[in-house]
Structure 1
Amino acid sequence: MKPPLGEYYDVNGRKLLLHREGSGAPAVVFIPGAGAVAMDYWDAQRQAAAFTTSVLYDRAGTGWSESIDLPRASSEVTDELRALLHSAKIPGPYVLAGHSLGGLYARHYATRFPDEVAGLVLMEPAHEDYRAYMPRELVERWDAWDPANGLSDELPREILEFYRVLFEQEMAHWPAGLREPLVDSHVSREWLLTGIREAANIQAVHDEIRAAGPLPDVPMIILTAPAIDPFKQAVSAGTSEGLLQAENDGKTRLYNEFAASVPRGENRIVEDAGHVTLPFRRPEAVAQAIRDVLAL
């Protein structure tokens, strides 16, 4: 299926999709989470494009970029992003806006290439110490889940339709030419499997982050979205509301401490949004964080 936006660039023999809007520097580069794709951040991107160059892209093996075996090491992902930005002639330094797994990739890029990063905006970022802040019962539940059994060969139509409705609600005001192919792709088994496969080596990525050393002294804003919305409820079926609230409490403590560990860090609570829905429901909060990082 043809992507609704963007153009392709050749990076190491693979075609990668990139879409840019706006002008000015430093450019902001959105790094999607596992299971997310470039176009999920369209609304936040277009708002950021009002004041600087704003870039979306799909990693190899995800979204509309060329397929590749997953998972991959973070060093491979960050090398690829660097090569893509150079190929697209988007000069650094960059503000990296990473979501979930993309937050780990953003941090790794900053530690590996500190002169190329002007700031970080981390949306509900994955973190190597996340489990240490969680209640034991919740961690045991996660350990008992086998990702290999996460998707059957044929997903029931009612499950696919359930997710379709959730995505359509989040993108209800988006242009149909963007919303419809994006929703169709999100509820395909291929894209659902991609999210699971990409995060399958998360422990190895954590090890890379731990070994990479400290972040450079750049402004960093974390966005914490505590809502227990329908997406969170769907992926947490059978988990009590008390445990979900305990996860939120632990996550907030972690992000507060992480923000305090760097000279110019801040954690912001973004109400009325959850882990998946943050860029859909509160794009203005994402754009404001980018604007504020640029001003620091």
Structure 2
Amino acid sequence: MNGEPRPRFVRVGGVPHHVVVDGDGPVCVLATGLGLSWFDWAPVVPLLAPHRTVVRFDRPGHGLSAPAAGPATVTGEADRIAAILDALRLPGPATVVGHSIAGFHAEAFARLHPARTAALVLVDSSVEERPRASRTAPARARALGALLSAAGVPAALGPLARRLSVRHDPAPPALVRRVYRTSRVFRGALDENARYGAVAAELLALRERAPLPPGLPVTVLAAPDGSARWARRQRALARRLGARYEAAEPSGHLVMLDRPEAVAGAVLGD
């Protein structure tokens, strides 16, 4: 597997989850954005592993994990992180890092599991001030996924779509083919995207009833990439969470690939 550790799986809610653990020290969990995989954190791991026990995992329908057993919710994703740490026998407080949509999940973990949260780092996190949940989008996504999978689209175009969406992709081609040629990952990404609005709305409601732990270190690491509007929204998120704001520049949305040292610095407090 081109230097990657042998796959390890833990069962959460009856679903096998692929996990990779590196390093030693206080625990740090790295949660990926929509459609990404454990290996997308690879440039960050060598910078953290000398100082942290680094946990990477694939959500259901992502990477090497099995398909989801039910619809995604922000509470369910927060509890998933807790359950994975339990399965790994890592109960102590963890720094939770969420990229893109996983920023929702990481923030929810901090709110729902405050005693288990040492710090929160949001890496160019999704931000939705007025989310809209669609009741029909999940069903449409399932139908589309089934149709395109039956037509062989993931196998034919999945790795190409990955290469087009990830600039200067450092992932080994064999891993990209192994993951992105599968209808499981294709359908998992479609389904999670269809539930994006509902998950965002659930987080807004959660903020009203479950405050962040007092004194929790929170960092918003943004990648404005020349967008003043995105920078304003990320700064507003930082103010709302009482967080430190940092800009990773130059960097695209995949900060862990473009500026891994910025992610590591945010985790380590440099």
TM-score (normalised: structure 1): 0.75
Structure 2 unaligned blocks of 5 or more: 133-139
Aligned residues of 1:20 and 1:56 also touching (Cα < 8 A): yes
Alignment partner for residue 182 of structure 1, among 175, 179, 183? 175
Question: Structure 2 vs 1, CA of residues 168 and 222 (structure 1 numbering), >3 Å: closer, same or farther?
Answer: closer
Aligned residues of 1:95 and 1:290 also touching (Cα < 8 A): yes
Alignment partner for residue 266 of structure 1, among 217, 225, 244? 244
Superposed displacement of residue 70, structure 1: 5.9
Aligned pairs for 1:84-163 (under 5 A) are 84-129=84-129, 152=148, 153=151, 155=153, 161=160, 163=162
% identity of equivalent residues: 27
Aligned residues of 2:163 and 2:169 also touching (Cα < 8 A): no
Aligned residues of 1:94 and 1:116 also touching (Cα < 8 A): yes
Secondary structure of 1:272's counterpart equals coil
Superposed displacement of residue 194, structure 1: 2.2
Superposed displacement of residue 56, structure 1: 0.4
> What is the alpha-carbon distance in structure 2 between the residues aligned to residue 206 and residue 129 of structure 1?
9
Question: Structure 2 vs 1, CA of residues 121 and 196 (structure 1 numbering), >3 Å: closer, same or farther?
Answer: same
Secondary structure of 1:28's counterpart equals strand
Secondary structure of 1:55's counterpart equals strand
Structure 1 unaligned blocks of 5 or more: 133-145, 228-244
> What is the alpha-carbon distance in structure 2 between the residues aligned to residue 108 and residue 24 of structure 1?
24
Secondary structure of 1:62's counterpart equals coil
Secondary structure of 1:115's counterpart equals helix
Superposed displacement of residue 260, structure 1: 2.1
Deviations 1:37-91 (A, max 9, x none): 2221122123111211111011222211122256411222222221111110112
Partner of 2:198 in structure 1? Answer: 204
Aligned residue pairs, count: 252
Superposed displacement of residue 125, structure 1: 0.5
> What is the alpha-carbon distance in structure 2 between the residues aligned to residue 63 and residue 30 of structure 1?
14
Question: Structure 2 vs 1, CA of residues 225 and 11 (structure 1 numbering), >3 Å: closer, same or farther?
Answer: same
Superposed displacement of residue 184, structure 1: 1.3
> What is the alpha-carbon distance in structure 2 between the residues aligned to residue 121 and residue 36 of structure 1?
18
> What is the alpha-carbon distance in structure 2 between the residues aligned to residue 8 and residue 96 of structure 1?
20
Partner of 1:135 in structure 2? Answer: none
Partner of 1:42 in structure 2? Answer: 42
Secondary structure of 1:261's counterpart equals helix
Q: Which has the larger displacement, 59-68 or 146-155? A: 146-155
Superposed displacement of residue 149, structure 1: 6.2
Aligned residues of 1:164 and 1:184 also touching (Cα < 8 A): no
> What is the alpha-carbon distance in structure 2 between the residues aligned to residue 59 and residue 110 of structure 1?
18
> What is the alpha-carbon distance in structure 2 between the residues aligned to residue 188 and residue 216 of structure 1?
41
Structural RMSD (CA): 3.0
> What is the alpha-carbon distance in structure 1 between the residues aligned to residue 220 and residue 258 of structure 2?
16
Secondary structure of 2:194's counterpart equals coil
1:129 counterpart letter in structure 2: E
1:182 counterpart letter in structure 2: L
Aligned residues of 1:7 and 1:17 also touching (Cα < 8 A): yes
Superposed displacement of residue 22, structure 1: 1.1
Partner of 1:224 in structure 2? Answer: 222
Partner of 2:62 in structure 1? Answer: 62
Partner of 1:164 in structure 2? Answer: 163
